[in-house]
Chains A and B, each alone.
Chain A
């Protein structure tokens, strides 16, 4: 009987191992980490930001010329902020709702080489932002909030025409899978 019980326990422990498998990056079975921004957090914040931004007056007519500004990562995690920005720029550019001004060295050199040609678009708006983190705990329960802040600045007047803040809060004692 005792042997049988031990075998059952062993089977349970062995059964806990999960082999690697491909998952839908937009699915419900993704790892939820307490201490870091997960890929689904960027997707959530990005799509909420996108929905808010396209309702701003800057997007009411035509395709404004947008330049990406600095997105400051003020969290303890190391990640590329384009994980957030791509959630906005990909649908905007592909639907023709913005003209995205490339700001890398090649694009800058190309613009400089073209002189003061009227064909070269000038940035009408600059998108800038910050990602912050707030941690708290009560006993073994940890809570981590990631705060995504974005601002759209009209270059001509130097004023913010849209600004938004979205917070993703996760709470628990350990990382988990899915919702």
Chain B
């Protein structure tokens, strides 16, 4: 019996492709799923973050949000994100556009997966399709 358990444990480990993946699975099993975090641009510039997952801040940093207009006059926001941790992270991003009254005018609901090396900076550009869209709400979760 004493021999079976270590063998079983070894079997579990060798069945996985790497120790890191095993660690990741254990972490996923032991911790609640990552909550979705938000950041919404403000009319006066900058953005308001809404962090729902305390672990998020140790992984991805929201650096800046730059608002501009396309040649056709549609709103565009560039979000700068940085992996502030010492290990690779994956930023999963989607976004919505809001009208001047705060209503959702359009959305891109699917998650876009962006792997980030430690310290890596990436820029996510969101361009509105409708002229009524003025503010951008970024949805982000890290993994």
In the complex, A106→B46 CA distance in Å?
51
Q: How many A-B residue pairs have CB under 8 A?
A: 58
A57–B125 alpha-carbon span in the complex (Å): 17
The answer to whether A95 and B110 touch across the interface, beta carbons within 8 angstroms, is: no
Q: A55-B70, A57-B71, A141-B17 are in contact. Are A91 and B129 (CB under 8 A)?
A: yes
Shortest Cβ distance from B17 into chain A, in angstroms?
A: 5
Q: Give the size range of B's interface with the partner.
A: 20 to 34
Using A60-B71, A173-B17 as known contacts, say yes or no to A47 and B108 having CB atoms under 8 A apart.
Answer: yes
> Are A44 and B70 interface neighbours, CB within 8 A?
no
A97, CB-defined interface residue at 8 Å: yes
Cβ of B1 and Cβ of A2 under 8 Å apart? yes
A95 near B129 with CB under 8 A, answer yes
Q: A60-B71, A61-B72, A179-B143 are in contact. Are A44 and B127 (CB under 8 A)?
A: no
A43–B110 CB distance below 8 A: yes
Nearest chain-A residue to B16 (Cβ)?
A173
- Bound-complex Cα distance A91 to B109 (A): 12
A44-B112, A60-B72 are known; give 5 further A-B pairs, CB within 8 A: A26-B111, A47-B108, A61-B72, A95-B130, A179-B113
Q: List 10 A-B contacts (CB under 8 A).
A: A2-B1, A26-B111, A44-B110, A44-B112, A44-B113, A47-B110, A47-B112, A55-B70, A91-B129, A179-B92
